[in-house]
Structure 1
Amino acid sequence: MNKDDLLYKYFSNSLTLKETQTFNELLEQDAAFKAQFEFEKNLKSAIKETESRKLKARLKEVEQDLANTTIKPGKTRFNYQMFAVAASIVVFLGWFGYNTLFGLNYNRLYQDNYKTYPNTVYSITRGDANNSLERAAFVAYEAEDYKQAVATFKEIEQTNKASYISFYMGQTYLELENLEAAKTMFEKVIETEKDFVPEAHWYLALTYLKLKNKTQAKVQLNTLVNTYTYNKEKALEILDRLD
C-alpha cells in the first residue's frame, strides 16, 4: 500500500492493525511522510472549524426565522409547524452528522498510541532453572498469554506489594480489555510514588481514552507533561487532539 492510501485510510478511520503499525513506523522514520500528515491534519482541523461555525450560524438563522414568523391559526398552523420542525431537524442532523464524521475517534487515538510495555523487570534466559512465580508470570507475559500472566501476578501480589507487580497487572488487564481493573492497578502504582509512576500516568490516560473519558484522560496527560519526560511529546499531541 502506498503512502497516500495510508493517509486516506487513517483519516477515514479504516486502517487495519498491521497498517496502523506501518503508519506509525513511517511517522517516526519518514520526515516527508510526517510533514504531509501534519499538513493534512491541520487542513482538516481548519475545515472542521470553518464548517462548524457555518452550521451553527445556519441553525441560529432557522431559529430566528421561526421566532419572527407569524403563524395563522387552524390547519395552516399545523402544517407550518411540521415544516419548521423538519427544517430544524435537517439543520441539526447536518451539524450532528458533521461532528460524528469528523469528531474525536477515541478508539483510533488509543490504537495509535498504545504499545504493550516490555518486560524490563525480570530477565528470562534459556536454561534458567528458576521456577519462581515471578518468572512464570513474566514468561506468560512475554508469550502474550495474558490470562495466565494476570493469574500468576495475582498470586505474587499476595506476598509481594512492589509497584511493578501492580503495573504489569494493569498491562495484562489492558490487553484483556478489562479496563476498570487496569485503571485500578495504574492508580495503585501512582499512589505508591515509586517505580513506574510516569508510565502509569501514560497508560491510565490511554485507559481513560478507551473509556471515552476525555476529562480524566486530559488530567493524566497534563500531569505527565508537567511533571515527567516519559512520552511527553506524544502526550502533548494527544492533548492537542483532545482540545
Structure 2
Amino acid sequence: MDQEELINAYLEGKLSPEDQRLFEQLLENQPEYKTILEEHRQLKIAVTLEERSKIKDFLEELDQKEKGIPKSKGGLRSWIYSGIAACAIVLAGLFLWTSLSMTPGEKIYKSYYETYPNLIAPTVRGESQANLESDAFLAFDNKDYEKAAVLFENLQHEPDSDYAVFYLGICQLELGRPEKAIPLFLKVREDASNPDQITATWYAALGYFQLNKLEEGTQAVNKVARTEGHPLQAKAQELAEILK
C-alpha cells in the first residue's frame, strides 16, 4: 500500500486496528506525515462540500424547472427527480475518488494540458500527393498518435526537423509517456528568440507535472512566464502564481 492509499484508508476508517496503531505511531515519529494527512483531510472536506453544493444547486434548479409539470404527473416527476439525484451523488463520489487519487502534479497536468494543434501541414482529404510529412499529420489530426509517433520518429532525422521532434513529444504525452516526451521537448533548439522552443518548454513543464516532478515543472513554467509576447505567457503566469 503506497502513501496515498495508506492515508486515504486511514481517513476512511478502513485500516485494521493493528495497521491504524502503526500508522498513528508513524504520525508521532514523523511529523511531516501529519502535514500530509491534514492536507488530504482538508482536500477531502473541500471537495465534498463543493460537490454537495453543486448537487444542491443542480437539484434546486431542476425543481424550479419541473414545477410546471401537472400534479397528475407527480409520480413520474418524483421518479425522475430521485433518479437524477442518485446519479448526481454517484458522479460526485466518482469525482471525489478521481480527484483524491491524483497527485498534485497530475491535477495541474489535467487542468492545463491541451493538445497542440497541427500548424505545419494542414491535411486535406483526397489530396493526390502523399508524403511522410502529410501522412504523419493526417494520423495526428485523426488522433492516431501511435501511428503519428512512428512517422514523426522517422521525420526527426531530416534537416530542419524541430517540428517533427516537437510533435513526436506531443504524441508521447497523448499516449501517457511523459518520460519519453520531455527529452524530445528539450531537444528543440535552445534559442531565446525561437517561439517554438518556448512552446516546447511549456509542454516539457506539463510532462514534468504529469510525473509529479513539481520543482522541474515549476522552473519550466517560470521560464515561459518570463517570455514577453509569447502566446502562452499569460497562462504560464497564472500557473506560476498558483505554484508560489
- Scaled to the shorter chain, the TM-score interval is 0.5 to 0.7
Amino acid at match of 1:196: D
SS of the counterpart of 2:158? Answer: coil
Give per-residue Cα distances to partners, 1:164-198, cap 9 Å, x unaligned. 11110110011111112200110011436646112
CA RMSD of aligned residues (A): 2.8
Amino acid at match of 1:123: P
**d(CA) in 2 for partners of 1:169, 1:92:** 40
**d(CA) in 1 for partners of 2:118, 2:176:** 19
Partner in structure 1 of residue 235 of structure 2: 234
**d(CA) in 2 for partners of 1:171, 1:128:** 25
- Report how many aligned residue pairs link the two structures: 161
Give per-residue Cα distances to partners, 1:47-67, cap 9 Å, x unaligned. xxxxxxxxxxxxxxxxxxxxx
**d(CA) in 1 for partners of 2:153, 2:115:** 19
Aligned-pair identity in percent equals 27
Q: Does 1:99 align with 2:100?
A: no
Partner in structure 1 of residue 88 of structure 2: none
Give per-residue Cα distances to partners, 1:26-56, cap 9 Å, x unaligned. xxxxxxxxxxxxxxxxxxxxxxxxxxxxxxx
Give per-residue Cα distances to partners, 1:90-115, cap 9 Å, x unaligned. 97654331123457722111111000
Give the gaps of 5 or more residues in structure 1.
1-83
Give the gaps of 5 or more residues in structure 2.
1-23, 44-102
Pick closer, same or farther for the CA change 1:129–1:87 going to 2, 3 Å. closer
Displacement after TM superposition at 1:123 (Å): 1.6
Partner in structure 2 of residue 212 of structure 1: 212
SS of the counterpart of 1:196? Answer: helix
Give per-residue Cα distances to partners, 1:104-140, cap 9 Å, x unaligned. 7221111110000000000211321121010100000
SS of the counterpart of 2:185? Answer: helix
Indicate if the aligned counterparts of 2:227 and 2:233 stay in contact, CA closer than 8 A: no
Normalised by the size of structure 2, how large is the TM-score?
0.59
Give per-residue Cα distances to partners, 1:181-228, cap 9 Å, x unaligned. 200110011436646112111101111111111111121111111124
Amino acid at match of 1:117: Y
Q: How does 1:54-65 map to 2 (within 5 A)?
A: none
**d(CA) in 2 for partners of 1:219, 1:144:** 30
Pick closer, same or farther for the CA change 1:173–1:190 going to 2, 3 Å. same
